[in-house]
Structure 1
């Protein structure tokens, strides 16, 4: 029987270390790194804010939104919306919800849009000291067109689902200002 010496153990250890080190080191190297996503380079944030104050009247609207630009002509996005309206001793309203929007720019200055909006409306009317409450969901489908300069579009939109009996906005045709940065 052959005696194992310290010198032999050292040689075996060194052979094992040097023979496995290259494979361990190379296994840590990623030969084809994943390309970084440029998703956020195509996203724009924006929205709208409205404030109207008058004698015994308050109207506040906040509507943040974001769109993803597929290319220079097409974009798709989503928005949130909240509005508070108060006509003292007569009417209060809270409107909240969201929308999906598609944008098409056939020319750099022209923007066409299609928007589906779903909001919850909670109204309180006061009449002769009594409160009357009305709570409902409202759906709007808008087609729009506007003039675009840089990040701002000014135009008009029309609600294809407008129902005069559900008096949320009062009319089907309304102006808009849209900004994305």
Structure 2
């Protein structure tokens, strides 16, 4: 009796297995094409805060064009306020050119050139000294992408000069939000 139950169970398992092994199934999935196509033109707004050695607040709206899935090219305007307590206050306004390389969906690298008009007021023992000049900045940076809308990272100013730069530090953290 035990042998017949074992044989029936074995035959049933083989039939089920063979049926699954030799049957053909076709899975058809419909992809919503509107959901998978990323827009070629994106508006973004970057902002940065830096409190190393002072205060630096930057706002930089930009427009970027996706050349491919991996490369973006864009331009924008940039404004910032920098303050070192009882030493100087600086406002800047200018334009920037941005290139982005996105090796993976979660990681972005960037190269950014900015040309800025600087208005600087320094406190000296003899009073305030005002300067107006142009400054160039070349940033190399990287950031983590959060759901393809937000990038959080840091950029390094290759042209930073401790004695003459408008920036308080060569490293500037940033957040860029894209629409």
TM-score in terms of structure 1 length: 0.65
**Does residue 97 of the first structure (1) align with residue 94 of the second (2)?**
yes
Q: Which has the larger radius of gyration?
A: 1
Alignment size in residue pairs: 137
Give the distance between the partners of 2:174 and 2:45, measured in 1 at CA: 11
Stretches of structure 1 lacking an aligned partner (at least 5 in a row): 1-40, 53-57
Higher relative CO (CA 8 A, sep ≥ 6), structure 1 or 2? 2
In structure 2, the partner of 1:77 is 74
Offset at 1:110? 0.8
Native 8 Å contact 2:48 2:173 kept in 1: no
In structure 1, the partner of 2:133 is 136
**Does residue 147 of the first structure (1) align with residue 144 of the second (2)?**
yes
In structure 1, the partner of 2:112 is 115
Native 8 Å contact 2:88 2:122 kept in 1: yes
Native 8 Å contact 2:115 2:135 kept in 1: yes
Native 8 Å contact 2:48 2:175 kept in 1: no
Deviations 1:69-89 (CA, angstroms, capped at 9, x unpaired) = 112211000110122456787
Offset at 1:91? 3.6
Give the distance between the partners of 1:162 and 1:90, measured in 2 at CA: 19
Stretches of structure 2 lacking an aligned partner (at least 5 in a row): 1-38
Aligned in 2, Cα 1:59/1:106: closer, same or farther, shift over 3 Å?
Answer: closer
Deviations 1:100-143 (CA, angstroms, capped at 9, x unpaired) = 00001111111011101110111112345722012221111111
Give the distance between the partners of 1:157 and 1:62, measured in 2 at CA: 14
Aligned in 2, Cα 1:92/1:162: closer, same or farther, shift over 3 Å?
Answer: closer
Once superposed, what is the RMSD of the aligned Cα atoms?
2.5
TM-score in terms of structure 2 length: 0.66
